[in-house]
Structure 1
Amino acid sequence: MIAQLQRTWRENLQHLVCNAKQTLFISSPFVTQNGVDFVKSNLKKQFKNEGELIFLTNLSPSNILQGSNSPDPFISLKSEVNNLKLWHLPKLHAKVYISDKNKSIVTSGNLTNGGLYSNFEYGIQINDSAESAKIYDDINNYCQLGSKLDFNTLQSLSEIAKGIAKKREKVQSEVSKEINELLFSAQDELVKDRLQKGATHNVFAKTILYVLYKYPQGLSTEDIHLEVKEIHPDLCDNSVDRIIEGKSFGKKWKHAVRTAQQHLKKNSQIVLNEGIWRVK
């Protein structure tokens, strides 16, 4: 009846969207073009022509200013889905996806690139029509608290958003250097704090175990590198090489990953067989 969803929850969402026949309800405060493209690519042609897509979001000025939401993705969605009902509700925080009132997903993930692909999201899928119908009724009531947006309003918001983007770009160019210096300083402090809790290879060792448990079929070293870099971009600096007697021996962070792999292997926690690492 209930399935737990982790980082790969988009696969469940893909299946839910693809199998929608009559009604698809999406509640996502933040929405980007990547998220809308994900929905469009998984909706069947018949649904685009005959189905009903109810979309609840938060197109408040602050979200548009921050770039966390924009009217343009919804304009592109409207061009492909005949029966799109778009609702705006300030203070919306619920992330809910419901297909035909039969199956539903309640998650932390927004319909954004981060929510779908890179963030550590978590949620549940309810495969019970009675419970999904109750969730639909509850979240649909939120729509009635908001305002329904027509195409003309979207177009007006789009023009305003473009003006905001131009102003923001000008302001950012004037202060970006100072801001970047402060951001780098903050990042350095965060890295220092993390490394006080253990050497880099110790952090990587925990990460390797995490990803190998997630992929029981095993991963190559190259795949482990990709997973580690995605989880710890701040610790995986490709600009820093490991130098011994003036010679470069590859990226320093990859050497730390290798050290972590050997440590785990020595302690019989992981094994290497034909180029594939697995949890023992």
Structure 2
Amino acid sequence: MSRVSVVPSPWHDLFDEMLAESNHLDFASPFITRSGVEYIIQHDINVRGVTVLSPPYFVKQASDIDAIEELLDFGANMHSLAGLHAKIYLFDNHAIVTSANLTSGGLFRNKEYGILLSDADILEQIRTDFSRMLNDSASIDLDSVAFIRRLMDRIPPETQEYLTKVEDNVFIKQEVVIDSLVGWNKEVYKIISAFSREVFALEDLYDFKDHFSKLYPANKHIEEKIRQILQHLRDFGLIEFCNEPGTYKRLVQ
């Protein structure tokens, strides 16, 4: 096989072939659906994936929370990276860099295009870049899945009354997000959602230590708990960590 060859759509047969001859798959795909995941779980393969756990993506059905849960049940190590746009599929001895997401559209319906690479130096560079994605990403676990499910349960498919729509973007109302959270996650996010600006600092939340102490008088480590909850909210796709330490951005407007 040539060290570089083109991969036009449909390419699901090539994907299946690469999976069959590999022990490992590392992939990056902003959108994931079950039709894409079904190819993976047919094989005995170790999987690490990076996607975007953004609530609006699931509301718009661009991504499928069932697919995320199916990958977790399969044993995949899943992560979420805000702003991800790359689509990369890295196998033992090959990599596919493409425009295609891990969806039915990406694999065989849309007009996608990519390249298949087998040069050792290029593969090593892709592995390095993928490791950097993992380091910059948030872990996805079953708690993250449960939050998205609670959120979806509060947005009936037959009505748009819980949503606002601007052009092609769907924005989930903050009260729906808050109602989908529980405990500390809910109380901290209520404060974040009330900020007039989308970028905020850790100190802004520390200003509410007395408020949290009254809600949870048994907790004597309020600042540590706030930092832990910010990690949870990042994992849920509700905030992202900014480059400046102690600074965060609210993602759901």
* Common fold by TM > 0.5: yes
CA contact (8 A) 1:26 1:97 kept: yes
CA contact (8 A) 2:10 2:109 kept: no
Q: Residue 62 of structure 2 aligns to a residue in which SS? A: coil
* Other-structure match for 2:69: 75
Q: Aligned-pair RMSD on alpha carbons?
A: 1.7
- Asked if 1:170 corresponds to 2:164, the answer is no
Larger Rg: 1
- Which of 70, 74, 77 is 1:85 aligned to? 77
- Which of 129, 132, 137 is 1:141 aligned to? 132
CA contact (8 A) 1:72 1:158 kept: no
Q: Rate the CA distance shift 1:145–1:60 in 2: closer, same or farther, 3 A.
A: same
- Asked if 1:159 corresponds to 2:150, the answer is yes
Specify the code of the residue in structure 2 equivalent to 1:132. Answer: L
* Other-structure match for 1:66: 60
How many residues in Structure 1 have an aligned counterpart in Structure 2? 159
Q: Residue 170 of structure 1 aligns to a residue in which SS? A: coil
Q: Which structure carries more helix by proportion?
A: 1
* Other-structure match for 2:91: 99
Q: 4+ residue stretches of structure 1 with deviation over 4 A?
A: none
CA contact (8 A) 1:59 1:70 kept: no
Task: Write out per-residue CA displacement over residues 18-40 of structure 1, whole angstroms, 9 at most, x where no aligned residue.
Answer: 2221x210111011111111222
Specify the code of the residue in structure 2 equivalent to 1:13. Answer: F
Structure 2, gaps ≥5 residues long: 162-253
Query: Relative CO higher for 1 or 2, CA cutoff 8 Å, sep ≥ 6?
Result: 2
- Which of 5, 8, 14 is 1:6 aligned to? 8
Task: Write out per-residue CA displacement over residues 7-56 of structure 1, whole angstroms, 9 at most, x where no aligned residue.
Answer: 132222111112221x2101110111111112223x13xx3xxxx31110
- Asked if 1:39 corresponds to 2:20, the answer is no
Specify the code of the residue in structure 1 equivalent to 2:118. Answer: N
TM-score normalized with structure 1 length: 0.53
User: Following the alignment from structure 2 to structure 1, what is the Cα–Cα distance between the partners of residues 111 and 9?
Assistant: 6
Q: Rate the CA distance shift 1:162–1:137 in 2: closer, same or farther, 3 A.
A: farther
Structure 1, gaps ≥5 residues long: 173-280
Q: Residue 72 of structure 1 aligns to a residue in which SS? A: helix
**Offset of residue 150 of structure 1:** 1.7
Q: Residue 85 of structure 2 aligns to a residue in which SS? A: coil
Specify the code of the residue in structure 1 equivalent to 2:94. Answer: K
TM-score normalized with structure 2 length: 0.59
What is the percentage of aligned positions where both structures have the same residue? 27
